[in-house]
Structure 1
Amino acid sequence: MRIGLVCPYAFDVPGGVQFHIRDLAEYFIAQGHMVSVLAPVDDDDAELPAYVTSCGRAVPVRYNGSVARLTFGPVTSSRVSRWLEEGEFDVLHLHEPVTPSASLMALWASSEPVVATFHTSNLRSRAMHAANPLLRPSTEKIRARIAVSEEARRTVVRHLGGDAYIIPNGVDTRRFAPDGAATQWTGTPERPTLAFLGRLDEPRKGLAVLLEAMPAILDALPGARLIVAGPGEIDEISARLDPRVRSATEFLGAVSEDDKVALLRSADVYIAPQTGGESFGIVLVEAMAAGAPVVASDLEAFIAVLGDGPAGRTFPVGDSSALAVTVIDLIGSPEERQRLRDLGLRRARSFDWNVVAGRVMAVYETVIEGADHSPVDPVLRAGLLSRLRWPLRGEA
């Protein structure tokens, strides 16, 4: 099968959508399919995988509590059209197709069967609501819609109408599997390791909530250390910290994929204190796959990822005191941490690419066969529908 994937965000800048597209492309390539990815780039000298084609330089745009790096204009339009003509794709898979970037331009220019994945959860998006009348003629070209979570699906339904399959983000769980090897971050009973991954300059990632909880955590666990990984102004954040918290915190900055895996494998507790704007929670799956017990804010998207078990502990969004109590209790109970590790490892397998990519391929097959009806139409063949089914909470 000839598959065209379009990424709206700069491919050389780390991000959940970029990683999702990268991993999906590489999985399908390994299965023998011809896959090409079109995306903007932030750096003209960036080394891109052979399957990626640049459609132009990206520019920063503030969006949904973050900064997205997008591209638009006549140069991008020309490159999009040329890529589509040369690709002769059996299916065109657009990610975030209403974001004003490469995906939207590919949607306008497409004549191929179109599948679209929606990653964003933003029920109050005034921009999407206002643009709906303008976008509707284009979105009607989409033959099948995918949302990465129930929250993302509700965003699609509210702003664009129709419905969507729910197919989550995928993780190569084998890559994260615990190997027992010690690293410089491996904790001990006297010096447990708490880990956080996320952009430091995005308030919604919740680092401020975690840092506010640290004094209480250190009162109960004087040897605890917090490892913070992610890009941002480290000096500015560190300068504002209480000296005791600063001494217990190590800022790594942006880390490689190998170091991210090593950190998650080393964590006694992985903490996800996000305050909103999350449609899924891929880092929770990665942490569980690495054997790290998870403590997360009780965002709906996070609760869905943890499942009915649940395979992690939660605390009220933004409540630093509750976060501290939860971490202290979990560090003090090795048996509970082991129980959560076991649950997490089983839960993470529900999100392995072997499962997720099979559901995506089922959508492709349905679209290519000419099924241009709604994804929830009852005439879908039972075999395909069963492959698309989102695992019930608590399934592993």
Structure 2
Amino acid sequence: MRVGLICPYSLSVPGGVQYQVLGLARALRGLGHDARVLAPCDGPPPDAGVTPLGMSIPTAANGSVAPIAPDPAAQLRLMRALRDERFDVLNLHEPLVPGPNMTACLFKSEPLVGTFHAAGRIGAYTWARPALAWLATRLDRRVVVSEDARDLAETALGGTYDLFFNGIEVDRFAKATPWPTDGPTIFFIGRHEPRKGLAVLLEAMAELPPDVRLWVGGTGPDTDMLRARHAGDPRIEWLGRISDEEKARRIRGASAFCTPSLGGESFGIVLLEGMAARTPVVAADLPGYRNVARAGRDALLPPPGDVAALARALRTVLTDADRAASLVESGIERAQHFSMDALAARYLDLFDEVLASR
């Protein structure tokens, strides 16, 4: 089967949707199918199976900044690629984001499966609801990655949805070579913006023992402000943007993996990365994170934004070896339930159903 996966976000920028699209394509190829990703790229494509559609334009969306490509040049590249590749089916991730996915819906020539990732509130679903609801009718089947994503899509667009939880390439994290450390070390990676909760974690560091170090990966609009605010703490190492390989190695080498987001998380794939890497996970108690982590069993989930509670949870996994080991053991088992290969098999069954119905 020839499958085209379209991602609206630049593959040069780290993100959950980008990770899912690339990982799903690799898993489909591993199962013997011809899968290709079509997406914006602001640099060299990160994978040999990628058709770049041009540069992205940073756009404010859902409390963050989305690197999308709504320009005419990207749409022309997409249409040429679809003409040349002759895919059997297209899988559009976030199908209603302006850019290549909208174009694929408007000029539909292949069966379309749309995967909805977003949760929370999307302004466009309010002011452009009639147009988006019509555009969604162009999809042959609709998939959501979480119950929260289903709630948003059903309320805004109507229709019915299959629930396919996101997947993770387990071996990529389980077999990563641990990054060396000099003592108890916490790892954070994500966009430096209020929604990701980095400011809360940095404040919590003041309540942790002096030998605890913090690796901070990623960049964002709050980077300079946060670095200036905590410039006097030598325990904090600012890594900037890092490769996927380094990310996996640092998760594997850390004593604790912390994801203290404040909201807007549809699915906790980042928590699964920590579990697969055999690292204790401390995250915020969000509905999206509870999709994958059973509180107190697979991860510690203090209330979002609570500095003292976050510090207590981190102190627990850093000082209580038995508790940390229990979280790791349960987390390894949990991560296996969300393997990318299993997810790819489910998508293949769905693609077969769509093709048969055509």
Q: What is the TM-score when the length of structure 2 is the normalising length?
A: 0.94
Q: Which residue of 2 aligns with 1:36?
A: 36
Q: Which runs of 5+ in 2 are unaligned?
A: none
Aligned equivalent of 1:83, options 77, 81, 84: 81
Q: From the superposition, tell whether residues 143 and 310 of structure 1 become closer, same or farther in structure 2 (CA, over 3 Å).
A: farther
1:308 shift after superposition: 6.7
Q: Which residue of 2 aligns with 1:387?
A: none
Q: Which residue of 1 aligns with 2:95?
A: 97
Describe the SS at the equivalent of 2:35: strand
Aligned pair 1:125/2:122, yes or no?
Answer: yes
Structure exhibiting the larger radius of gyration computed from Cα positions: 1
- 1:149–1:301 CA contact under 8 A, matched in 2: yes
Aligned pair 1:272/2:259, yes or no?
Answer: yes
- 1:178–1:291 CA contact under 8 A, matched in 2: no
- 2:4–2:37 CA contact under 8 A, matched in 1: yes
- 1:274–1:317 CA contact under 8 A, matched in 2: yes
- 1:4–1:35 CA contact under 8 A, matched in 2: yes
CA distance in 1, matches of 2:75, 2:155: 29
Residues 34-43 or 153-162, more deviating: 34-43
Q: Which residue of 2 aligns with 1:299?
A: 286
1:300-359 CA distance string (max 9 Å, x none): 011121137730111111101111112122322100100100000000001111211111
1:199-253 CA distance string (max 9 Å, x none): 12x2111000101111111xxx22111111112465542221162xx21111111
- 1:309–1:343 CA contact under 8 A, matched in 2: no
Describe the SS at the equivalent of 2:140: strand
Q: Which residue of 2 aligns with 1:211?
A: 202
CA distance in 2, matches of 1:164, 1:305: 19
- 1:204–1:277 CA contact under 8 A, matched in 2: yes
Q: State the AA in 1 paired with 2:138.
A: K
CA distance in 1, matches of 2:178, 2:345: 35
Aligned equivalent of 1:170, options 135, 144, 167: 167
Q: State the AA in 2 paired with 1:228.
A: V
Q: Which residue of 1 aligns with 2:137?
A: 140
- 2:178–2:250 CA contact under 8 A, matched in 1: no
CA distance in 1, matches of 2:234, 2:28: 46
- 2:96–2:135 CA contact under 8 A, matched in 1: no
How many residues are treated as equivalent by the alignment?
357
Q: Which residue of 2 aligns with 1:377?
A: none
- 1:228–1:253 CA contact under 8 A, matched in 2: yes
Describe the SS at the equivalent of 1:305: coil
Describe the SS at the equivalent of 1:314: coil
Q: Which residue of 2 aligns with 1:228?
A: 216
- 1:229–1:251 CA contact under 8 A, matched in 2: yes
1:42 shift after superposition: 2.2
Describe the SS at the equivalent of 1:111: coil
Q: Which residue of 2 aligns with 1:183?
A: 179
CA distance in 2, matches of 1:210, 1:58: 30
CA distance in 2, matches of 1:322, 1:135: 41
- 1:287–1:293 CA contact under 8 A, matched in 2: yes
1:32-51 CA distance string (max 9 Å, x none): 212222212224xx245332
CA distance in 1, matches of 2:353, 2:113: 10
- 2:295–2:301 CA contact under 8 A, matched in 1: no
Q: What is the TM-score when the length of structure 1 is the normalising length?
A: 0.85
Q: From the superposition, tell whether residues 80 and 235 of structure 1 become closer, same or farther in structure 2 (CA, over 3 Å).
A: closer
**% identical equivalent positions:** 40
- 1:311–1:340 CA contact under 8 A, matched in 2: yes
1:135 shift after superposition: 2.2
Q: Which runs of 5+ in 1 are unaligned?
A: 372-396
Q: How does 1:110-121 map to 2 (within 5 A)?
A: 110-121=108-119
1:369 shift after superposition: 1.2
Q: From the superposition, tell whether residues 329 and 57 of structure 1 become closer, same or farther in structure 2 (CA, over 3 Å).
A: closer
1:82-133 CA distance string (max 9 Å, x none): 22222222111101111111111111111211100111112x3231122121
Q: State the AA in 1 paired with 2:88.
A: D
Q: Which residue of 1 aligns with 2:316?
A: 329
CA distance in 1, matches of 2:69, 2:240: 27
Describe the SS at the equivalent of 1:280: coil
CA distance in 1, matches of 2:210, 2:47: 45
1:183 shift after superposition: 3.3
- 2:133–2:156 CA contact under 8 A, matched in 1: no
